[in-house]
Amino acid sequence: MFEVEQIIADHKDVIHDVVFDYYGRRMATCSSDQTVKVWDENDQGKWSVTSSWKAHSGSIWRVSWAHPEFGQVLATCSFDRTASVWEEVLGEKVAATMSPTRRWVRRTTLVDSRTSVTDVEFAPKYLGLVLATASADGIIRIYEAPDIMNLSQWPVQHEIANKFPLSCLSWNTSTYKLSSQLLAAGSDDMATITGKVFIFAYSENARKCVKVDTINDITDPVTDLSFAPNAGRTFHILAVASKDLYIVNIKGTTDPTGNSKLDMQTIKFNDHNCPVWRVCWNMLATTLISTGDDGCVRVWRMNYNRNWKCAAVLKAESSSGMSQEPPVSSPTFSASAATTAKYYKKGIISNPNQVPWH
């Protein structure tokens, strides 16, 4: 059963991103009010703001947590054409019985972009302290901190130019059956009818990141995408938010000449019946969450036939206290849902071979 809990964010404008840290006990939010807020969960499961500060001089589009191995580090990107790296530091104790005060310090500002920086994301831990940004000018920039003890230095390692403006990006966390690390980026360009999701990889021959493929099945503007964490699968999964929800299965294969290539299968879901804005996965990639213009949060799960199905629809209470009814084809769990469930006997399994394999 899902429970809907309302949190008063106290942002003065639209909230663009909400991101949990690695352990799920901290949360960061960013908004058009130019502020970032960091939330901590107490032992009772209640969230409260522990830090809030003005981070940029324009709307803040995205926020990203670094792996905790590198400390408490955040990255933000903004309409003001910059991205910033922040680190939490401990101050002096006000009293001997109190915990040290915490504050977030700007370690660096990345000013290479000439247009709005639309997304920022830290790379998987095994690549080191690496950060990627996407900009409206169509350029992906990859930065690396050579000294994790000095976060003021972030030289550009790669610049990847595209002819379309970029709206989002996502690192693949695994290289299983792939020759190199994958990075996906999406475009929200509305002027052309062509593939809007691009796949990049590091080329040993060129010694730089290059575009290796385009998902031509997705031609509508893309607002978000996310690689699923790899939990032992022999393929990779990419969720894409566009006019509809897309799930792309990606396999690394080798052609007869011995060259590596990507085999991709795209599946479309139109349950939202409206533009989809955000997608995210749980840690085991067994659950996908999507949100859309219908005001619903949809929970997707893979069944034993390896088909993705909408398992639940979460609808927040409106200001009038009434919640809209979800589609009949999808079960719903909301704050007003019943607290009990009924189970019905459907039959008896006398032979273990009758049990479907998951």
- Residue 62 in any domain: the answer is yes
Using DSSP bridges, classify how beta strands 83-90 and 102-110 pair: parallel, antiparallel or unpaired: antiparallel
Residue 82's domain is classified under what CATH number? Answer: 2.130.10.10
Amino acid code (one letter) for 154: W
In this prediction the pTM is 0.83
Alpha helices in 33-125 (DSSP H): none
Please report whether residue 55 resides in a domain. yes
User: What's the pLDDT at 313?
Assistant: 92
Distance CA 313, CA 326 (A): 7
pLDDT value, residue 54: 96
Q: What is the pLDDT of residue 319?
A: 39
Listed as own residue / partner, the contacts of 144-150 with beta carbons closer than 8 Å and 24 or more positions apart are 148/70, 148/71
Find where tokens 């995408």 sit: 225
Rounded Cα distance between 283 and 140, Å, is 26
pLDDT computed for residue 304 by the predictor: 84
The answer to whether the CB of 299 falls within 8 A of the CB of 286 is no
Q: Is residue 28 part of a domain?
A: yes
Please list the rounded mean pLDDT of every run of 10 residues in the chain (358 residues).
Answer: 79 95 95 96 90 96 97 97 95 61 93 97 94 96 94 94 96 76 93 94 82 94 94 88 96 76 92 94 93 93 90 71 41 40 48 43
- The domain containing residue 31 runs over which residues? 7-161
Please tell me the predicted confidence (pLDDT) of residue 242: 97
pLDDT of residue 322: 35
**pLDDT score of 204:** 78
Under 8 Å CB-to-CB from 81, ≥6 apart: which residues?
A: 58, 111, 113, 114, 115, 116, 117, 135
Is the separation of the CB atoms in 88 and 65 below 8 Å? no
Residue 66 lies in a domain: yes
28: Cβ contacts below 8 Å, ≥ 6 apart? 17, 18, 19, 21, 36, 37, 38, 39, 63, 65, 74
The C-alpha atoms of residue 118 and residue 212 are separated, in whole angstroms, by 22
Q: In this structure, is residue 153 part of a structural domain? A: yes
List CB contacts of 74: < 8 A, sequence separation 6 or more: 28, 36, 38, 63, 64, 65, 66, 85, 86, 87, 88, 104
Q: What is the pLDDT of residue 341?
A: 45
Residue 52 counted as domain residue: yes
Who's near 285: CB < 8 A, 6+ residues apart?
228, 229, 230, 231, 233, 237
Q: In 48-69, which positions are buried (b, 16+ CB within 10 angstroms) versus exposed (e)?
A: eeebeeebbeebbbbbbbbbee
- Give the end-to-end CA distance of the chain in Å, rounded to a whole number: 22
What's the structural domain count of the chain?
A: 1
DSSP conformational letter for 189: -
Q: What is the rounded distance in angstroms from the CA atom of residue 85 to the CA atom of residue 102?
A: 16
pLDDT for residue 345: 47
125 inside domain: yes
- Tell me if 130 is assigned to some domain: yes
Contact 165, 189 (CB under 8 A): yes
